[in-house]
Amino acid sequence: MTTTELELRDVDLFYGRVQALRQLTLDVGEGEIVALLGNNGAGKTSTLSMLSGLYRPRSGTITWRGKDITRAKPWDLVRDGLIQVPEGRRIFSTMTVHENLQLGGYQTGDPKALAARIDEVYERLPRLAERRAQQGGTLSGGEQQMLAIGRAYVGKPQLLLLDEPSMGLAPLVVKQVMEIIKRINDGGTTILLVEQNARAALRIADRAYVIENGRVSLSGPAAELAQDQAIIAAYMG
Ligand code: ATP
């Protein structure tokens, strides 16, 4: 039995009068990869943004490593190692690969530790090392995704939130990105992975939740969901 790392209980999130999350309840165990699947508008990105402290739920609780973070500030969460890789990567296109990585460790405050951490990224992702002086905007889509993940890794994530890392990538590149995510997880980082590409996500995830209309409609071990006829029909067509 794994220790619970992250727990959402009965979370309601509103944007004005629009309700994005409804009694959302889920948990992520320490060291797990948990996938959040669902169609456009289901509430996946809202869940991640809320976990990063950008939105506050109207009701319900969020607990991370035993601490109530329902009303925590984004910068405190980042400092403590809850780090998000946003949808669409959001790398700085006119800055070099190296400068982008340096930004991932702005909260470190220790140049030596930061340099060591960036070296570790280069070791794990040699493609980025080769391109350290190249402008972010000129990287391929897959390389940009690697850079976004590498930048988050520099911040020493305990819990890494990934928003659709496969978006816009060719199948082979999706496979490579998923392997990188798996490797980071093998190093001890817990991962919450939002994906529309259920097939790719279920390959590396331990468990998954399907979100429909702001609430969990289905959940279970990834290997079981990958065989589920309803999931195959709805999300692996
Ligand atoms: P996608 O895969 O398309 O990004 P998603 O599952 O991530 O979808 P969300 O982006 O979380 O879905 O959106 C959930 C609902 O909340 C949608 O109905 C969306 O229109 C609404 N929503 C999201 N962000 C805002 C916002 N800033 N203001 C108002 N409504 C929003």
Contacts (Cβ under 8 Å, ≥6 apart) of 153: 104, 117, 120, 121, 124, 160, 184, 189
Does residue 45's CB lie within 6 angstroms of at least one atom of ligand 1?
Answer: yes
Q: What is the pLDDT of the chain when averaged over all its residues?
A: 93
Q: Give residue 1's pLDDT.
A: 61
Tens digit of pLDDT for each residue in 164-175?
999 989 999 999
Give the Å distance between the CA of 96 and the centre of ligand 1: 31
pLDDT at 236: 79
| ipTM of the complex model | 0.91
Mean pLDDT of 130-135: 96
| pLDDT value at residue 23 | 98
What is the per-residue pLDDT across 89-116, written as a single tens digit (0 to 9) for each?
788 999 999 999 999 887 777 889 899 9
Q: 114 CB less than 6 Å from ligand 1? A: no
Domain 1-81+160-237: assigned CATH number: 3.40.50.300
Residues 129-135 have a mean pLDDT of 95
Q: pLDDT band for position 62 (50/70/90)?
A: very high
Per-residue pLDDT tens over the stretch 185-224: 999 999 999 999 999 999 999 999 999 999 999 999 999 9
Query: What is the side-by-side strand order in the sheet with 159-163?
Result: 82-85, 159-163, 190-195, 33-37, 207-212, 215-221
For ligand 1, atom 10, which residue shows the shortest CA distance?
Answer: 45
Residue 47: which pLDDT band, with cuts at 50, 70 and 90? very high
Q: Are 194 and 41 spatial neighbours (Cβ–Cβ below 8 Å)?
A: no
Q: What percent of the chain is modeled with pLDDT above 90? A: 84
Domain boundaries, the chain: 1-81+160-237, 82-156
| 46 C-alpha to ligand 1 centroid (Å) | 6
Give the residue-averaged pLDDT of 82-86.
93
Distance from the alpha carbon of residue 151 to the mean position of ligand 1, in angstroms: 25
**pTM for the whole structure:** 0.93
Categorize the per-residue pLDDT at 163 as very low, low, confident or very high, splitting at 50, 70 and 90: very high
- pLDDT value of residue 237: 67
Q: Is it the case that residue 120 has pLDDT exceeding 70?
A: yes
Ligand 1 within 6 A of CB of 50 = no
In the reported structure, the alpha carbon of residue 45 is separated from the centroid of ligand 1 by a whole-number distance in angstroms of 7
Nearest CA to ligand 1 atom 9: 43
Residue 111 has what pLDDT? 87
Q: Could you please report the per-residue DSSP string of 135-189?
A: BGGGS-HHHHHHHHHHHHHHT--SEEEEE-TTTT--HHHHHHHHHHHHHHHHTT-
216 C-alpha to ligand 1 centroid (Å)? 15
